[in-house]
Amino acid sequence: MFNPMQKLKNKDSKKEETNTKATRAVYLMSTAIIIAALAIFLYYHPLDDIRTMQSANSNNVENNGNDTGRLIATSTNAESNGTTPEKSNNTKSNGIGGGNIVGDSRAGKKDLPIYCVKTDEKKVALSFDAAWGADDTLDILNTLDKYNVKVTFFMTGGWVKEYPDMVKEIYARGHDLGNHSENHKQMSKLSEAEQIQEISSVDAKIKEITGYDCFLFRPPYGDYNSTLIKTTYGINHYPIQWDVDSLDWKDYGVSNIIKTVTQHKALGNGSIILMHNGAKYTAQALENVITSLQEQGYTLVPISQLIVKENFHMDGTGRQIAN
């Protein structure tokens, strides 16, 4: 039997179902738009950038309150002639990471440390990481003296504590004192506060022993992220890597070290060379490394005299370029 009321109810039910589907479609479309917008935002503003902006804002508050908890080594003309960067309580808001160093560490989507420097001058920098052992360090220093070459030593807090007299000797002979972190950890795994502690504790040890203010930092294992680069600049240090690895730590022998360095495909004007004072064959290979580089026309300088101190930018390979 035909029931008009039942037909009307069926129509209402279908209409309600249609409205529900339409509402659900609008909801899903709105959600998709929001997710897409968030994805686009994060693409152009990575989390490292967001954390850095928050950190910079925090630093500005601290600085306005005259908080001197962060070590500040501000000289942009420091040479390895025994002078040290001056400290300042006045920070520049336009410095990288909220510090005093004016430049741009960004290349594409990431902040980069200094792997090498663009220069028309035929000069390179030797550097030594000091994290274990000191048996050959005096031999290395004597060879450097023989050829009147100044270099940069990057030291961990543990090494500084164990060999304070050697730290004094390195400093007395006119070499750069660099920071290689307190505990030789993977810095990208640490929070910003932990990164600052790893760097500042070594600064304090070196300062106490020599009176020198460190302003060069090399992360252990070459490990970094954008947060670390901004943090390093934020406490007025230059993050330093290398573009020529001697591979001396692999203990392949003297001739291998010499060949690896002097015939390296990346070797060129502005190169930074990585060596280790505690590697087995480094001291024996050093003299030939120096003379071979000099025969190629290179002048060897410490990193403090190679890098651009301010008004610079980076290319995608980590090459520092003066503006």
The CATH number of whichever domain residue 259 belongs to comes to 3.20.20.370
Mean pLDDT over 255-265 rounds to: 98
Residue 172 · residue 144 · CB < 8 Å? no
- With respect to residue 57, please indicate whether it lies within any of the assigned structural domains: no
**pLDDT confidence of residue 26:** 62
Domain count across the chain: 1
- With respect to residue 17, please indicate whether it lies within any of the assigned structural domains: no
Q: What is the dihedral of CA 160, 162, 165, 170, to 10 degrees?
A: -40
From 175, 180, 184, 276, the catalytic residue: 276
From 129, 176, 203, 243, the catalytic residue: 129
Query: CA-to-CA distance for 219 and 225, rounded, in angstroms?
Result: 10
For the segment 136-173, what is each residue's pLDDT rounded down to a tens digit?
999 999 999 999 999 999 999 999 999 999 999 999 99
In the chain, the percentage of residues whose pLDDT exceeds 90 is: 71
Is 78's pLDDT higher than 90?
A: no
On average, the pLDDT of the chain sits at: 83
- With respect to residue 18, please indicate whether it lies within any of the assigned structural domains: no
- With respect to residue 9, please indicate whether it lies within any of the assigned structural domains: no
Query: CA-to-CA distance for 250 and 39, rounded, in angstroms?
Result: 43
**pLDDT confidence of residue 137:** 98
- With respect to residue 39, please indicate whether it lies within any of the assigned structural domains: no
**pLDDT confidence of residue 220:** 98
Residue 200 · residue 235 · CB < 8 Å? yes
Is 40's pLDDT higher than 80?
A: no
For the segment 172-226, what is each residue's pLDDT rounded down to a tens digit?
999 999 999 999 999 999 999 999 999 999 999 999 999 999 999 999 999 999 9
Domain residue limits at 135: 84-322
For the segment 79-131, what is each residue's pLDDT rounded down to a tens digit?
333 333 444 434 445 899 999 999 999 999 999 999 999 999 999 999 999 99
Mean pLDDT over 57-81 rounds to: 32
In the chain, the percentage of residues whose pLDDT exceeds 70 is: 71
Query: CA-to-CA distance for 25 and 32, rounded, in angstroms?
Result: 10
Residue 232's closest CA among 54, 43, 55?
Answer: 55
129 among known catalytic residues: yes
**pLDDT confidence of residue 86:** 42
- With respect to residue 13, please indicate whether it lies within any of the assigned structural domains: no
251 among known catalytic residues: no
- With respect to residue 15, please indicate whether it lies within any of the assigned structural domains: no
Residue 131 · residue 180 · CB < 8 Å? yes
Q: What are phi and psi of 247, to 5 degrees?
A: 60, 25
Provide the 8-state DSSP code for 127. E
- Alpha helices by DSSP H, listed for the chain, are 4-44, 47-64, 137-146, 157-162, 164-172, 192-210, 226-234, 254-262, 282-295
- With respect to residue 221, please indicate whether it lies within any of the assigned structural domains: yes
Query: For the chain, first and last CA: distance in Å?
Result: 90
Tokens matching residue 320: 């520092």
Cβ-Cβ contacts under 8 Å for 136 (sequence gap 6 or more): 277, 278, 282, 283
